Amino acid sequence: MQTKQGGTPVGDLNFRKYFLAKNLKKDMPAGIVVFLVALPLCLGIALASGAPLFSGLLAGIIGGIVVGILSGSQLSVAGPAAGLTVIVLNSIAKLGSFEAFLLAIMLAGAMQIILGLVKAGTIANYFPSSVIEGMLAAIGVILIMKQFPHAVGYDKDFEGDEGFS
Report the pLDDT value the prediction gives residue 115, as an integer from 0 to 100.
93
Do both 108 and 142 map to the same domain? no
Segments forming the whole domain that contains residue 55: 15-124
Report the pLDDT value the prediction gives residue 141, as an integer from 0 to 100.
92
pLDDT of residue 165 exceeding 60, the answer is no
Structural domain contains residue 155: yes
Structural domain contains residue 10: no
Pick the closest to residue 88 from 104, 77, 64 (CA basis): 104
Do both 101 and 132 map to the same domain? no
Structural domain contains residue 8: no
Do both 114 and 159 map to the same domain? no
Pick the closest to residue 146 from 160, 132, 136 (CA basis): 160
3-state helix, strand, coil in the chain (%, to 5): 70, 0, 30
The residue ranking higher by pLDDT, 6 or 79, is 79
Do both 42 and 115 map to the same domain? yes
Do both 59 and 90 map to the same domain? yes
Q: Do residues 98 and 92 lie in contact, with contact meaning Cβ atoms separated by under 8 Å?
A: yes
Count of Cβ atoms closer than 10 Å to residue 95 Cβ? 14
Do both 76 and 21 map to the same domain? yes
Using pLDDT thresholds of 50, 70 and 90, give the confidence band for residue 30.
Answer: confident
Structural domain contains residue 2: no
Structural domain contains residue 105: yes
Do both 60 and 119 map to the same domain? yes
Q: Do residues 67 and 30 lie in contact, with contact meaning Cβ atoms separated by under 8 Å?
A: no
| Segment 34-62 mean pLDDT | 89
Do both 46 and 77 map to the same domain? yes
Structural domain contains residue 1: no
> What does pLDDT average to over the chain?
80
Please give the Cα distance from 10 to 132 (Å, whole number): 32
Structural domain contains residue 6: no
Do both 145 and 119 map to the same domain? no
Q: Do residues 56 and 42 lie in contact, with contact meaning Cβ atoms separated by under 8 Å?
A: yes
Do both 157 and 92 map to the same domain? no
Do both 23 and 65 map to the same domain? yes
What's the structural domain count of the chain? 2
Do both 58 and 71 map to the same domain? yes
Amino acid present at 93: A
